[in-house]
Amino acid sequence: MADAPTTSTKGATVRVWGRQQEPEKSRLTSAEKRYGLTWDELHAYKDRMLFPQLPTCMGVEELSKDISLCDSVFRGLDRCLTQGTIHEDDRFPYARMQICKPHWIKFNRCVNRRDELIMRNIKSWEKAYVANLDPASRSEYVDDIDSKMRYFLYAAANTGDAQHRARLEMNAQHCAIRQASLMKSNYDGADDQVAGTKV
């Protein structure tokens, strides 16, 4: 009696009730292409809700009160995904990608706008704060931002989670923006001093 072939059936298509079923990964990829966002992006909304990191000496109360914190759109998306999970149908496991996409778009837009306004506030605060430091402390402050940026890039390169990597890369980008803003204001200040000494 010949031995039965030992071929793996992992990832192969199978017939259920006479209908050919596509593999789970293929179904997910098709759904992601159809709806224009990935499963991981949709479910990483709690990571996206995190605020940009503030400078150590800057208090939260120094941010503008006009900045929307996106609480209402966050709750709307969270409620949609929770209900989608509770009422999930085996025939349509990715239905929440379609149902919750409008909530996700609003949330994403709000968070991007919020982060942009927070970064403007940070740059404005830092410009005034650094202007009152002596040259040695000013240089040390800028170097500290550079060190944080390098750490975030290192951590991003050594993490396996794509969404966590994206968050770390965003933090590194924010540090780079802050550093560039301070360097520009330092040069502008030096130019003003030179102009002031001219007769």
**Residue written as token pair 């650094």:** 130
Tell me the three state secondary structure of residue 168: helix
Element (H, E) at 102: helix 101-131
Q: What is the CA radius of gyration of the chain?
A: 25
Cα dihedral 184, 189, 193, 194, rounded to 10, equals: 10
pLDDT of res. 2: 52
**For residue 11, what are its two tokens?**
């990832």
pLDDT of res. 68: 92
Give the residue ranges of the chain where pLDDT is below 70. Answer: 1-22, 186-199
Q: Give the pTM.
A: 0.76
Backbone angles phi, psi at 101, to 5 degrees: -60, -45
pLDDT more than 90, % of the chain = 57
| Tens digit of each residue's pLDDT (9 = 90 or more) over 94-125 | 888 888 999 999 999 999 999 999 999 999 99
